Structure 1
Amino acid sequence: MTGRRSFPAFAPERFAPTPERPLRAKSRVLEHLADIQPHRHDWAQLVFSMTGAVRVSTEASTYIVPPARAVWIPPDIVHAVTAIEQCDLRTLYLGPELLAGPAWQVGRVLEVSPLLRELVLALPVIPDPAPPESREDAERRRGIEELVLMELRRARPMALGVALPQDARLRKLCEAMLREPGRHAGLEDWAAEAGASPRTLSRLFREQLGTSFAQWRSQLLLAHALTLAARGRPMSHIAAELGYSSASAFTAMVTRTVGMPPSRFFERA
């Protein structure tokens, strides 16, 4: 399997929004398990992949998203990006004045409509110093940018984020579960691996994340299942990869968590 490779943030200042160019686009292919090291900047960011699933992590949450989903990152938030599989990454950098209001001050997952996808593909991905634009090209670009903002304002938010704790012991365990969600099913096995008692870990989940181990793990499995479903994996394969003994057991978990069977949830999500 390809080893993990880490990269710096690829000089994001060369794509920094300006009064003349308040919305910038960047394109990059990331290999399987490649990651962009934690960094921050003064502008907002929308990150998604045309192909392949990505994981976007902040200090407080992690988001696992397939194509047709994007992660909104407000200004000044430290974040890192990992390619769960090879991905054709697209990034939008937006001046903080473009999308104002409380909803844009927190990270979240947004649906990427087919129109938004095509609009992003049409944006220039040239870093500074960029060559001068003709008047016609500048007008075309500004028109595309306005349409991008309109599509972002109407994009449907999706509850695909997984909260991360501050406690070092629990953080280490959660990171291990993120890497291999199907390795263990129960808290006892994860506790034995972490060298802590199930009771201690159960208390930390409640104190740090306001949820139970089972609820947190269900949310994590849903995020991973969505990426597998986006690749066209059959339900039985998804269930097995996530550690379930049968497709019916996996179906019961999804139905219990989101109130609908996987087929309907994946179709809507």
Structure 2
Amino acid sequence: HLPALPTRWPENFRPDDVTAPVHGVLVKDRIEHGDARGVGQHAHKTGQLTITLSGWVGLSVGGSIVALPAGTAAWVPSGVAHEGILGENASSWYVHFAEPLCAELPKTIERFFISNLALEAARRFIDRNDPFDADSPLGRIARVLIDEIRSAERLKPGFAALSTHPLLKAVAEAIIAEPDMRVSREDYAEAAGISGRQLSRILAAETGRGFGDWRLELVMLQATLLLRRGMTTEAVAAEVGYSSATAFIVAFKRVFGVTPGAYVTGN
């Protein structure tokens, strides 16, 4: 199965409390199957910055799932319906911004690489809800965080698109469970009970993506998790089906624009 369940907010966290212009929380618990305490699709009066700290983090938006690789974040504007999701042992920060501070931030959901500077700025707002002025030390840190969000390098809009279509969901589950570039389109299609051409047609209709790029991004999504767990580039390359570390590095850079080493260090 797709390795994610809805998030459970900490007991006393109130995302729309604007006592402080910016406040955040560590989110690491999930709503297990059959638990009625999930909030489902919802929208906030505040803007939400979701930062992946570890594991498989994403957002459910309408009929699709937005994946957030390690080292990335997503901005969700106020009023946009969504639901946070987490994989096993995953964690993230949710940082909420009062509406006046959202004026310079995107009006649609956007995913981007999170800089070390932005991470350190966001850290200052976790588990605190103290009011502050724009010209105070916290106000200046909030300004830095906003500037970092605005200038961050964006992920491609269709990156690792995950559909709720039953057949595509089954194929995505197979790729995520055992990411291996040696497995062909026909192999995945046969396991789903369709032909390779049918798989490509359904994928194009649902996501606008070709199978090769889509599968590569799902594999690299899992590769980022392995890299962040401390595996070497060579070990990750072998794990996801590349014959050499060089070939893996070329493919990784094609997807993310940086080498695996630069990705891990945040450069």
**Could you state the TM-score of these two structures normalised by the residue count of structure 1?**
0.74
Answering whether residue 196 of structure 2 is matched by residue 198 of structure 1, we say yes
- Confirm or deny: 8 A CA contact 2:28 2:86 kept in the other structure: no
Which of the numbers 231, 235, 238 marks the counterpart of 2:236? 238
Residues 267 and 200 (structure 1 numbering): CA distance in 2 closer, same or farther, change over 3 Å? Answer: same
Aligned twin of 1:24 = 23
Query: CA shift at 1:204, angstroms?
Result: 0.8
Aligned twin of 1:40 = 42
- Confirm or deny: 8 A CA contact 2:6 2:83 kept in the other structure: no
Between the two proteins, the alignment pairs up a number of residues equal to 254
- Confirm or deny: 8 A CA contact 2:77 2:108 kept in the other structure: yes
Query: CA shift at 1:194, angstroms?
Result: 1.2
**Counterpart secondary structure, 2:103:** coil
- Confirm or deny: 8 A CA contact 2:26 2:126 kept in the other structure: no
Task: Please list the CA deviations of residues 194-246 of structure 1 after superposition, one character each: whole Å capped at 9, or x if unmatched.
Answer: 12222211211222222221111112222222333333422221122213344
Residues 258 and 146 (structure 1 numbering): CA distance in 2 closer, same or farther, change over 3 Å? Answer: closer
CA RMSD of superposed structures (Å): 3.8
Query: CA shift at 1:183, angstroms?
Result: 8.6
Task: Please list the CA deviations of residues 49-96 of structure 1 after superposition, one character each: whole Å capped at 9, or x if unmatched.
Answer: 44x2332132334223214x2222233232322145444x32101234
**Counterpart secondary structure, 1:123:** coil
- Confirm or deny: 8 A CA contact 2:116 2:266 kept in the other structure: no
Letter in 2 for 1:23: V
Which of the numbers 115, 118, 137 marks the counterpart of 1:116? 118
Letter in 1 for 2:83: H
Gap regions ≥5 residues in structure 1:
none
CA distance in 1, matches of 2:165, 2:90: 31
1:208-219 correspondence to structure 2 within 5 Å = 208-219=206-217
Amino-acid identity (%) = 22
**Counterpart secondary structure, 1:215:** helix
Answering whether residue 84 of structure 2 is matched by residue 80 of structure 1, we say yes
Which of the numbers 164, 167, 189 marks the counterpart of 2:165? 167
**Counterpart secondary structure, 1:170:** helix
1:122-161 correspondence to structure 2 within 5 Å = 122-123=124-125, 125-126=127-128, 139-159=136-156, 161=159
1:240-255 correspondence to structure 2 within 5 Å = 240-251=238-249, 253-254=251-252
- Confirm or deny: 8 A CA contact 2:7 2:28 kept in the other structure: no
Which shows bigger deviation, 71-80 or 7-16?
Answer: 7-16
CA distance in 1, matches of 2:131, 2:166: 54
Aligned twin of 1:66 = 70
Query: CA shift at 1:139, angstroms?
Result: 4.2
CA distance in 1, matches of 2:118, 2:258: 28
